[in-house]
Amino acid sequence: MANANDAILVTEAEPVEEPGPRIVYANESFSRMTGYSSEEIIGKTPRVLQSPDTEPEALDRIRSALHRWRPIRVELLNQRKDGAEFWVELNIVPAADENGWYTHWVSIQRDTTERRREEEERRRQERRFRDFLLKNASDIAAVLETDGTVRFVAPSVARVLGYDVEDLRGSKIVDYVHPQDLKNLWITFQRATSNVGVNRPVEFRARHADSFWRHLEAVSNNLLDEPAVRGIVVNAWDITARKRSEEVLSEIREVERRKVARDLHDGVLQEIIDALYAAQLDQIKAGERVEDDAKGRADEMGRQVCFLQRAVEELRKAIYNLNRGNVQQQSFVHLLESLAVAARQKVPGLALELEIDESCRPQVPQDTGCRSQVPQDTGVEVVRIVHEALVNVRRHASAHHSRVSLRIIQGRFRTEVTDDGVGFDPEKVLPGMGIESMRQRALLVGGKLEIQSKPGQGTRVTVEVPMGPDHKN
């Protein structure tokens, strides 16, 4: 023990209370650590090493262990002979004689002052670095109570929204949110207070100190159970520039859409109508003849006229939809319902059923963040696939009954279009433009398309797409 690097102290076993057990041995390392020579310390109690700043809780733990004759490991603040304080890690164990009677306590002590100093310096640097990041970050960092009260907000809020930290501390976050965004934001915040961890992003408009609105995107992290935080941590960043770019892009697309509609109306549609009028005139002329071959030609012309009439009608509807330009603003379920109504009107003899599982419907009306749990662009592409499938039913299937169904299967949206028509052999029929278009649309949104059909047994078209961010299994 004399040559050990760690300080070693041996005391009598008792008394535990005042004045404490006397020291009977101290090695050289103990003398170097504390400044007391062996002669000076023997006969005294370890309490001479205690500092006025020694934590009472650490001393209580030691006293409790000694009363129960249990080993203990503890770190506390001690005092050297010259009054200098130092941190020490103690490992105290009881020593027994050959009869098993505890006669002494052995304390192995290691100076941890340098390690504590390094840890404190590292924490200090981390605090300085964190304060620097909070002060110079472009994002807003805040801690909110469960009622939306601002407990803490980083100085970067001044750069984004123009407020001083003291202006916001203690206020309600909802007081700064645009009225039209308040409901969706509050629903998202309430979810955050119930779900531990990081929650989904939400977009909203926040009022600037100069009274104009900025677009923000934010994520929240529920740290209510974290003792050091006990709140909802929110990180928000400014997306105003992105929103403005999206608005400009939308305006450009609207101009392009109207141009396409105008060109179709003034060009292609007029040419088809001219051809239709010419075909109808030839049909009338051919019908005035009595010859059998002329009658056959008239019947054929009649069929061609019907095809042209259908083409004109479809083209007019496409132009109408282009001009309307609001398909992207409707929910997925609403689009499917509108499509079913239109299909029934086009083919009165076709019994068309629409089955939509309740779990697929929006849970929060007007909540643009969770429209039917289907991403907006994805929903539009699926509706277009369903439309193409129904067009094929109407034109080729000779079906009496058709069904469109929507449900959730294993975390994916599955939409099916079935009919009891004539069917076909997919291996013998080359895919046309319509089927290829459906496949491309499904791939575009990360989905897959499957077509099952047999002659005389109808056709089933299935498209599966991923769920939106709000879905929970």
Whether 332 and 465 share a structural domain: yes
Asked if residue 127 belongs to a domain, the reply is no
Asked if residue 123 belongs to a domain, the reply is no
CA–CA gap between residue 127 and residue 129 (Å, rounded): 5
N-terminal to C-terminal alpha carbon distance within the chain:
63
Supply the pTM of this predicted model: 0.39
Q: Which amino acid is at 131?
A: D
Question: Which two structure tokens, joined as six digits, stand for 134?
Answer: 């909070």
Whether 172 and 60 share a structural domain: no
Question: Of 114, 148, 182, at which residue does a domain stop?
Answer: 114
Asked if residue 422 belongs to a domain, the reply is yes
* Contact call for residues 8 and 26 (beta carbons, < 8 A): yes
Whether 281 and 318 share a structural domain: yes
**What's the DSSP call for residue 330?**
S
Asked if residue 155 belongs to a domain, the reply is yes
Whether 350 and 467 share a structural domain: yes
Q: Which amino acid is at 236?
A: A
Whether 174 and 306 share a structural domain: no
Asked if residue 429 belongs to a domain, the reply is yes
For residue 35, give the nearest of 24, 45, 49 by alpha carbon: 49
Question: Of 222, 238, 254, at which residue does a domain stop?
Answer: 238
Domain range for 256 is: 242-325
What strands lie across the sheet with 23-26, from one edge to the other? 23-26, 7-12, 102-111, 85-96, 72-79
Whether 219 and 268 share a structural domain: no
Asked if residue 121 belongs to a domain, the reply is no
Asked if residue 129 belongs to a domain, the reply is no
Whether 351 and 459 share a structural domain: yes
| Residue 169: CATH number of its domain | 3.30.450.20
* Contact call for residues 39 and 45 (beta carbons, < 8 A): no
For residue 45, give the nearest of 60, 67, 26 by alpha carbon: 26
Whether 22 and 90 share a structural domain: yes
What strands lie across the sheet with 351-356, from one edge to the other? 351-356, 401-409, 412-419, 459-466, 448-453
Question: Of 310, 325, 340, at which residue does a domain stop?
Answer: 325
The β-bridge partners of 143 are: 152, 233
Whether 335 and 253 share a structural domain: no
Strands (E) across 394-447 are located at 401-409, 412-419
Helix boundaries (H) for 137-205: 157-161, 165-168, 179-194
The β-bridge partners of 464 are: 414, 448
Whether 347 and 370 share a structural domain: yes
Whether 205 and 265 share a structural domain: no
* Contact call for residues 213 and 205 (beta carbons, < 8 A): yes
Reduce the secondary structure of 240-268 to three states and give it as a string.
HHHHHHHHHHHHHHHHHHHHHHHHHHHHH
CA–CA gap between residue 274 and residue 267 (Å, rounded): 11
Number of domains the chain contains: 4
Whether 107 and 247 share a structural domain: no
Asked if residue 426 belongs to a domain, the reply is yes
Q: What is the pLDDT along the chain (473 residues), one digit of tens a residue?
A: 545 578 999 999 888 888 889 999 999 999 999 999 989 999 999 999 988 888 999 999 999 999 999 999 999 999 999 999 999 999 999 999 888 899 999 999 999 999 988 888 888 876 675 665 555 556 888 899 999 999 988 888 888 899 998 889 999 999 999 999 999 999 999 988 888 888 888 999 999 999 899 999 999 999 888 887 888 989 999 999 888 888 877 777 776 777 666 666 655 665 666 666 666 666 666 656 545 555 566 666 666 667 666 666 666 666 666 555 554 456 678 778 888 887 887 777 889 999 988 877 755 444 443 344 666 677 778 888 898 888 888 888 889 999 999 988 887 889 999 999 999 888 877 666 678 778 888 888 888 999 999 999 999 999 998 875 544 44
